[in-house]
Chain A
Amino acid sequence: MTETLLDIKDVVVEYPPKGFRAKPFKAIKGVSLDIRPGETVGLVGESGSGKTTLGRSVLGLAPVTGGSIKYRGQEISNATRAQRRELSHEIQVVFQDPYTSLNPSMTIEQILTEPLTVRKMERQAANKRVAELLDQVRLPHDAAHRLPREFSGGQRQRVAIARALALDPKLIVCDEPVSALDLSTQARVMELFIEIQERTGVAYLFISHDLAVVRHLSHRVAVMYHGEIVEWGDGGQVTSAPEHPYTQRLLMAAPIPDPDRQAKHRADRLRLLGIQREQDVQAGFA
């Protein structure tokens, strides 16, 4: 029997209305998902699908108004500050934009020791930990005394990963961590994610708009569309032979980097769109 690390059940996220008598905005409409220890669950969707909001609700940064999020059986969807502080040992985050996720006026050392000092770690022990973390993400030790602006996007993302690893979490929510990076940097950072997972057994909730990235990293994949999960299952299955019409459209929309195969792919896509339109029409008349 496999243990469940994170169990998301029928979660609803509603943002309070802006303006008098306006309706609240429902970003997530009842989503269920589970993550096992050491597993990568990919969450794919386009802008506005609610994938980032789901990640933020796990982190306690989005208001969960319905359903439950359980971490190892413990309800965390509306955790108090003190509970959150305890959870910071367990759940961490890597954000998309390496330019705004690091405080520009703090040195790398300050950024990395911040979570440690909350734990009241001794200065010397903290410094040792910083050196270990920099090793883990393959940055030189002299990076510690520099400011984020001295680093490239890929290097900054390594710092963000090191910060997430500082407390040895069991789950890291990765919100589009490679989409702001160049192609070759992206590949290297993804290898780093896999390597860290294999070494430490950390689980990832990996959020991305890119089906190819998710396929490469994920054991299981969920596809979100308009605040709901439309397809959820084995990574290979969902990203190669999807069943839901939206996932099919998503897969067909991504161009293949080969001129001849892409020409065929393009024709297939137009055919698929035609079939789906026909089905919609039939469903409408039925």
Chain B
Amino acid sequence: MTGAPLPLPASAAKVSLFRKLLIHPTGAVSLLVLFLVALASILAPVLAPYDPNASSLKDVLAKAGSEFLLGADSAGRDVFSRLLFAGQFSLAGALVALTVALVIGVTAGLIAGYHGGWFDTVSSWLTGLLMALPGMVVLLAARAVVGQSMWLSMVIFGVLLSPAFFRLVYASVTAVRNELYVDAARVSGLGDVRIIGRHILTVVRAPVIIQSAMVLGIAIAIQAGLEFLGLGDRTIPTWGSMLNDGFINIFKAPTLVLWPALVIGLVCVALTLLANAMRDELERSRGPVKKGRKAAPTGAENASEKRGNAAVVHAEEPSSNHGELLLEVTDLGVGYDQPDGSTTDVVHHVNLTVRRGEVHGLVGESGSGKTQTAFSILRLLPQDGRITGGSILFEGRDLAHLSEKEMTKVRGKRIAYIPQEPMSNLDAAFTIGSQLMEPMRVCLGISKTEARKRALALLAKVGIPHPERTFNSYPHQISGGMAQRVLIAGAVSCEPDLLIADEPTTALDVTVQAEVLNLLRELQEELKMGVILVTHNFGVVADLCDRVTVMQSGRVVETGPVRAIFNDAKHPYTRKLLEAILEDTAPRGPLVTAGTPRELNGVTP
């Protein structure tokens, strides 16, 4: 154990959502529009030149001009003043609806998602019911019962909108409820209220804010719609009622309808754009993908040291395989294109050979580039990834420069692949049988009956006890070990020359791993395949490999016959890896309770 603290990567600054929105172009404009509208509404008593309800007969439908900035309406009231005051009521009404929806939806969603049980059942059923109700009709009916109060109808509308929040919160909460950090908080003795407040609300906060902006826009539009139908409160100015008045007089004063429509449109558009901008920003800040395939090592810290330290190449043993050279990778480089136009290299100058009938182990820790190397041979690099240099000679052709169409012919038929996660590599929608037959029919051009016969024979060959039953089952009906056998059967179905296995046993239990390793050895000997075995487990290497290449930070540090690597490792990194192996350490021994444990309790000899 080194006493020195571990080095840390550079800190990523935490920037608030509000600040990010100010930089986001549409976000900033939307915020500005909303801010101005809200400000104008709040300051209406100061800004408005007239009382919004003061009517005068002589000013009916007055033209816009110096006296009335935007003209006067059918009762001779100043349109500009009404627009300002209407903002107060329209916005407040929409906020009432939003608040009601938020309070009901978020609370119910939290309780139902976190506790489940009967409350979950009841509230989910009620939500379904609410969503099935036509909102406008309910509002019309409600108006008939409770009267023309704008506030009451907005409260009812809020209830109708609450499922939007309920669903959202419910889904987020059920997703995090069983996260390990929530369990850890429980073990720390935190109460439910605290757990919800600290761990669960933070997760739902972002989507709720986005949804709120959307819902506010909907509330404003619906409210305007109600008022436009003439169902609003006549005593207060709102944008909707102004729209109604303008529509009635559309032939006499066409501009009357324009102003409220413009404001409503502007506010709704701004809210929607704001929601989108927030989504952009929140999703962008999700940070790096966890455990992604692209384990891009930024290891610049000792890059110079490594460059000076050429790979250790061990001499061939007399007994080693002198078969035909199957694959020759020379000076391979793999890089990822970055958004700013630069390229991050993850594999540098890798050389690798595989002979027919040889198992070549590619060993390294996460981020060493071993999987990237394997994928580049298959030309299956993730998006933005590309081969930046070197050649991959396979049967006299350079795979690095083959067209995608020609590569498709090589892949599957000549070079096969076994993945790490067997389950995620089988399509849950198709039976095992159909997934095995499809490639055979394409690659070998055989009939369906023949493909079926071969598939059943293959399943029997990879040690599946009831081939017929497995053939007809779906992936979720079989265990992980069985799924890996199926994938191995699929990989060898076209009798490839080269097999690339990416951590084929890492996801499996030890006893299953031993079976799968045996199977791989048998098939490899029978079909005389060359195999590239990507792994981090030296036990697997010792079990299967003839030759080993050790990689670190995208470079080969040592390569040679398997015994030379295990018994005579030269590179410090290889030695460090071999030292970390626990298999040969002595057991810790029984607990010594008397005396000082530190002295008596030796860890390893």
- Chain A contacts to B: CB under 8 angstroms: 2, 36, 38-40, 46-47, 56, 59-61, 81, 84-89, 91-93, 95-97, 99-106, 114-115, 118, 138-140, 142-143, 145-147, 149-151, 153-155, 158, 160, 163, 166-167, 182-188, 190-192, 194-195, 198, 201, 209-213, 215-220, 234-236, 239-240, 249-250, 252-262, 266, 269
Contacts and interface: CB of A to CB of B under 8 A. Distances in A.
Given A95-B184, A139-B6, A212-B582, A235 B365 contact: no
In the complex, which of the residues A60, A93, A253 has the most CB atoms of chain B within 10 Å of its own CB atom? A253
A182 B366 contact: yes
Contacts, number: 235
B471 to A, nearest CB: 25
A97 B545 CA distance: 30
A142 B191 CA distance: 29
Given A95-B183, A183-B581, A219 B199 contact: no
A140 to B, nearest CB: 4
A46 B508 CA distance: 9
A16 B360 CA distance: 49
A257 B601 CA distance: 27
B9 interface: yes
Contact of A216 (B181, B537, B540, B582): B582
A92 B185 CA distance: 10
Nearest to A85: B189
B65 interface: no
Interface in B248-306: 287-288, 290-291
Contact of B510 (A104, A155, A250, A258): A250
B536 interface: yes
A84 B189 contact: yes
Interface of B: 1-9, 11-12, 14, 179-181, 183-191, 194, 198-199, 202-203, 287-288, 290-291, 365-366, 480, 509-511, 513-514, 517-518, 536-543, 545, 562-563, 566, 576-591, 593, 597-598, 601, 603-604
Nearest to B202: A105
B597 A257 contact: no
Contact of A257 (B14, B203, B366, B539): B539
B591 A255 contact: no
A166 B187 CA distance: 12
A103 B203 CA distance: 9
Contacts of B581: 183, 257
Given A99-B290, A138-B2, 16 more contacts: A2-B593, A88-B189, A95-B180, A101-B179, A115-B190, A147-B12, A163-B184, A186-B580, A188-B1, A212-B582, A215-B585, A219-B588, A219-B590, A235-B588, A249-B511, A257-B566
13 contacts: A56-B183, A61-B186, A84-B186, A100-B181, A101-B184, A118-B194, A150-B8, A187-B580, A188-B1, A209-B509, A219-B590, A239-B587, A249-B511
Contacts of A269: 514
Contacts of A186: 580
Nearest to B291: A99
A280 B538 CA distance: 33
B587 A235 contact: yes
B591 A220 contact: yes
A155 B5 contact: no
Given A150-B9, A259-B562, A215 B287 contact: no
A114 B191 CA distance: 12
B580 A183 contact: yes
Contact of B1 (A106, A142, A147, A191): A191
Nearest to B582: A212
A46 B8 contact: no
Q: 5 nearest interchain CB pairs? A: A255-B539, A88-B189, A236-B587, A257-B538, A85-B189
Contact of B11 (A150, A163, A209): A150
Nearest to A46: B509
A104 B583 contact: no
Contacts of B365: 182-185
A213 B582 contact: yes
A96 B179 CA distance: 12
Given A105-B202, A198-B597, A216 B588 contact: yes
B542 A46 contact: no
Given A216-B585, A249-B511, A115 B580 contact: no
Contacts of B598: 198
A261 B585 CA distance: 15
B248 to A, nearest CB: 53
Contacts of B593: 2, 36, 38
Contact of A256 (B366, B583, B588, B597): B583
- Of A38, A139, A212, A257, chain B has the most CB atoms within 10 Å of the CB of A257
Contacts of B188: 88, 92, 114-115, 118, 163, 166-167
B573 to A, nearest CB: 9
B295 to A, nearest CB: 11
B580 A195 contact: no
B187 A114 contact: no
A139 B509 contact: no
A59 B187 contact: yes
Contacts of B480: 47
Contacts of B542: 255-259, 261-262
B583 A257 contact: yes
A242 B14 CA distance: 53
Contact of B603 (A96, A194, A249): A194
Contacts of A220: 590-591
B374 to A, nearest CB: 18
A29 to B, nearest CB: 20
**Chain A CB within 10 A, most for which of B181, B480, B538, B580:** B181
Contacts of A87: 189
B8 A102 contact: no
B187 A61 contact: yes
B1 A192 contact: yes
A103 B199 contact: yes
Given A88-B189, A114-B188, A266-B543, A101 B8 contact: no
B588 A218 contact: yes
Contacts of B514: 252-255, 269
Given A99-B291, A216-B582, A91 B187 contact: yes
Contacts of B582: 187, 190, 210, 212-213, 215-216
